[in-house]
Each structure stands twice: as structure tokens, then as C-alpha cells.
Amino acid sequence: MRAFYKKHKEIIDYLFFGVVTTIVSMAFYKLTTALFIGYPSMHTESGEASALLVSIATAVQWVTGVVTAFITNRLFVFRDRNNRPGYVAKQFAVFAGSRVVTWFIDWGISVAGIALFYKYGIFTGELISSEGAFYSLINKIFSADFIVKCISAVIVVILNYIISVFIVFRRTRKENRERKEDEADASS
């Protein structure tokens, strides 16, 4: 198990911190939608989040996700040791810029997905038709917008990894490989 982790450390760490980032950003998404409960213009007739509310909540989710992902990727996944302010600022700008692209993808999936759910009547009512706080909680968590957001999150995590590896942290990965090779040569 340890050998497997060592061999695939970067992708395992990326996935782990991707899950952490997703949990943090989804929590902010749900918090944002919860703040607008009782505002009729923010919900459909069935009580689901409207496209406007999904867009606002997705923007909040994006900001928290970008900040969390940049910090965890830089420190724990790609282990970037260059802390010069100009370098970090430029790296963050590239990182955030790449995340703008995936934000538009996330937004498009969210709005289109929810529209399709409503059009075909998928999860537009109660998932569980029993009474009680537990059943009410389950119905709120597994709403159409949340299910679409989960699908979108998987797609976005994959795209963000590809962008991080080949664009944002490319130099850091190369420096880390060279450092490991130098350490291996020095120990032989």
C-alpha cells in the first residue's frame, strides 16, 4: 500500500485535496442557497433554486474553491517552495485564470442540467415522501441543483487537474523531479 501511495502520491494527494476543496466549496454553495430561502424570486414554483440563485451560489462556490485549491495544491500536492511574492502572485493569477474557464463549464453544466431536470421532471419533488426532520433534510440535500452540482464537480476536478499539471504547476513539477534526481545522485 505504501509503495502504491509513493508511486502515485501526486494524483492521490490531488484527489484527496480535491475532495476537501469540493466539500468546502459545496458547503458554501449550500449555505448561499440556504440564505435565500423565503425569497420567491430565487426559487421555482416547486421550491427548487432558480437559475439566478444557482448562478450566485456557483460564484460563491467558485471563489472559495479557488482559494482553497490554490493553497492546498501549492503547499501539499505540488509542494512549491518558491515563496517570492511576485512568483506566487503570477502563479495565483494563472491558477485563477484557468479556474475561470472551468467555472464557466461548471456554470453551464449547472444551469443546463437543472433545466433538463425540470423539463423531464427528475427530482423536482420530494425524494422521500415521509414526514419528519430527517426526511426533510434528505430532500433538501438531494435536490436537483445539488445532484447536478455533484456531477459538475467530478468533471471540473478532472479538468482542473489536467490544467494544474500541464500549465500552472508545470515548472514546480519539473523542479521537484530534478531535485529528486539530484538527491538520488548524491546518495549513490
Q: What is the pLDDT of residues 79-111, one digit of tens each?
A: 988 899 999 999 999 999 999 999 899 889 988
Q: What is the pLDDT of residues 117-154, one digit of tens each?
A: 777 776 555 544 556 565 566 666 667 777 888 889 88
For residue 49, which phi and psi values (nearest 5 degrees)? -65, 135
Distance separating alpha carbons of residues 122 and 148, to the nearest angstrom: 11
Beta bridge partners of 181: none
Q: Is the predicted pLDDT of residue 36 greater than 90, yes or no? A: no
**Is the pLDDT higher at 130 or at 23?**
23
Q: According to the model, what pLDDT value does residue 127 have?
A: 47
Close Cβ partners of 50 (under 8 Å, ≥ 6 residues apart): 41, 42, 43, 44
Give me the mean pLDDT over the 64-68 stretch: 94
Residue 10 grid cell: 501526486
Q: According to the model, what pLDDT value does residue 134 have?
A: 59
State the chain's mean pLDDT as an integer.
Answer: 83
Reference 29, options 21, 17, 41; nearest CA is 21
Distance separating alpha carbons of residues 97 and 120, to the nearest angstrom: 35
Q: What is the pLDDT of residues 41-60, one digit of tens each?
A: 787 777 777 888 888 898 89
CB-neighbour burial class of residue 148 (10 A; exposed 0-12, middle 13-18, buried 19+): buried
Give me the mean pLDDT over the 14-25 stretch: 91
Each as own residue / partner, the long-range contacts of residues 46-50 (CB below 8 Å, 24 or more positions apart, any chain) are 46/124, 46/125, 48/114, 48/118, 48/124, 48/143, 48/144, 48/145, 49/114, 49/143, 49/145
Are the beta carbons of 172 and 78 closer than 8 angstroms? yes
Total domains present in the chain: 1
Give the HSE-up count for residue 74: Cα atoms under 13 Å, Cβ half-sphere.
19
Residue 62 domain boundaries: 2-187
Q: Is the predicted pLDDT of residue 182 greater than 80, yes or no? A: no
Are the beta carbons of 24 and 61 closer than 8 angstroms? no
